[in-house]
Amino acid sequence: MMMQDKQAWSGRFNEPVAELVKRYTASVEFDQRLALFDIQGSLAHAQMLEACGIITSQDLNDIRRGMAQIENEIISGDFVWSLDLEDVHLNIEKRLTALVGDAGKRLHTGRSRNDQVATDVRLYLRNAIDELIELVKALQMALVNLATHHTHTIMPGFTHLQVAQPVSFAHHLMAYFEMLKRDAERLADAHRRVNRLPLGAAALAGTSYPIKREMVAELLGFDGVCENSLDAVSDRDFAIEFTAAAALIMTHLSRLSEELILWMSPRFGFIDIADRFCTGSSIMPQKKNPDVPELVRGKTGRVNGHLVALLTLMKGQPLAYNKDNQEDKEPLFDTVDTLTQTLRIYADMIGGITVKPEAMRSAALQGYATATDLADYLVKKGLPFRDAHEAVALAVRFAEQRGCDLSGLKLEELQQFSSLIADDIYGVLTLEGSLAARNHTGGTAPQQVEAAIARARHYLAG
Ligand code: ARG
């Protein structure tokens, strides 16, 4: 609900702000989501003002009492937001004054909305990052759980989307575990720079009151204060950095989505995604569409767009605070919302995947995926790699004409291409032999993938 109110700064103005301008400049419709962080920041500021003798303890008590009521009103949905009061900060301050009188008017001593909003956004984002890190880990756990059952499930690994070499399906899944691990690290790293207190910078230059910024930082759980007042109120690099990390997470999930979509296509038939993540077609009765991964791929564009929006927002701004910065909120909030929903749904969806090992296996048998193994075999018997490559290329061509896999050729047939080939070759040409041979850290041998899964579980438990 909105109502009419006089602007806090209207004393200097000869005419009221135009209705259109009021709507254009107000942010309360979207920044009200910062309300509880705004109150948290105000309470810490007030406590410091009292400790420094700038307001009385009676004022502090009044402010606390008023804020407690406001918090209840906001949580219960009874708080009346006013567009005339522009933003979340002025709405809360006005209500506080209505409730407790002069103490409410004293709250803004030694503070400006410029350092106030920067503080609110940091409190909000710090909290969002903590939640997102947990969601990334939950998705990693879903991947690890699926991988655990498929260390011995063999699929074709691709390069250029052409069959390249056989890999363990679990190994493929664990590649995404690694990406997400770096993503969680990036979030945690961004958190360190988010977690600094701007309050005390006031409008831009600091304040003439004898404040104690470090005390406020400690009360709010910040690791320290922003050390330059101009920088504190004006930069939003911490939000840009977070959004870049978010865009990378979405990009990783977009790649996985593309794979899920391909794998679910009947042409691949490697997996099935549970019905609850798919939709049908209103015209083609046979269809089951992978809507969720498609939307993840689509929403990645949206988050990437938010990153560009924030970078562009910042690039032309002189020091210090400019109203441009009000435009940081919607992209930032939407980034957090989109990423939160995406991670939640993704962990569930991974848990609902049905794997079709037979389809993976037959695809792996179709593209001469063990050709490299034959070449390596010849090299180990003394042939230079380039000659081995050539011999195997001829053997592949021959097998292609026969319409069979390399392992389907008779020993005499294989020996036409190199006399070094003996009957131990069949252990090498099987899919299992190919996997087992790549037995080093980071390789696809099931034994290595099991070790990777064990490391992953240890990391997630820590
Ligand atoms: N709504 C503003 C924002 O989001 C708050 C700070 C406004 N400061 C000012 N002096 N107009 O950035």
Could you tell me if the CB of 87 is within 6 A of ligand 1? yes
Could you tell me if the CB of 113 is within 6 A of ligand 1? yes
Q: Which domains does the chain have, with CATH numbers?
A: 17-109 (1.10.275.10), 114-362 (1.20.200.10), 366-461 (1.10.40.30)
β-bridge mates for residue 225, sequence order: 197
Half-sphere CA count of 216, side-chain side, radius 13 A: 29
Asked if 407 is an active-site residue, the reply is no
10, 265, 281, 362: the catalytic one is 281
228 vs 335: CA distance, rounded Å = 28
Q: How far is the CA of 34 from the centre of ligand 1 (A)?
A: 13
In the chain, the amino acid numbered 325 is N
Alpha helices in 285-370 (DSSP H): 291-315, 329-351, 357-366
In three-state secondary structure terms, 403 is coil
pLDDT tens, the chain, 462 aa long: 455 677 777 778 888 888 999 999 999 999 999 999 999 999 999 999 999 999 999 999 999 999 999 999 999 999 999 999 999 999 999 999 999 999 999 999 999 999 999 999 999 999 999 999 999 999 999 999 999 999 999 999 999 999 999 999 999 999 999 999 999 999 999 999 999 999 999 999 999 999 999 999 999 999 999 999 999 999 999 999 999 999 999 999 999 999 999 999 999 999 999 999 988 888 888 888 999 999 999 999 999 999 999 999 999 999 999 999 999 999 999 999 999 999 999 999 999 999 999 999 999 998 899 999 999 999 999 999 999 999 999 999 999 999 998 999 999 999 999 999 999 999 999 999 999 999 999 999 999 999 999 999 999 999
Q: How far is the CA of 215 from the centre of ligand 1 (A)?
A: 24
Q: What pTM value is reported for the model?
A: 0.94
76, 160, 208, 440: the catalytic one is 160
Asked if 160 is an active-site residue, the reply is yes
Q: How far is the CA of 12 from the centre of ligand 1 (A)?
A: 18
- Are 143 and 173 in contact by the 8 Å Cβ rule? The answer is yes
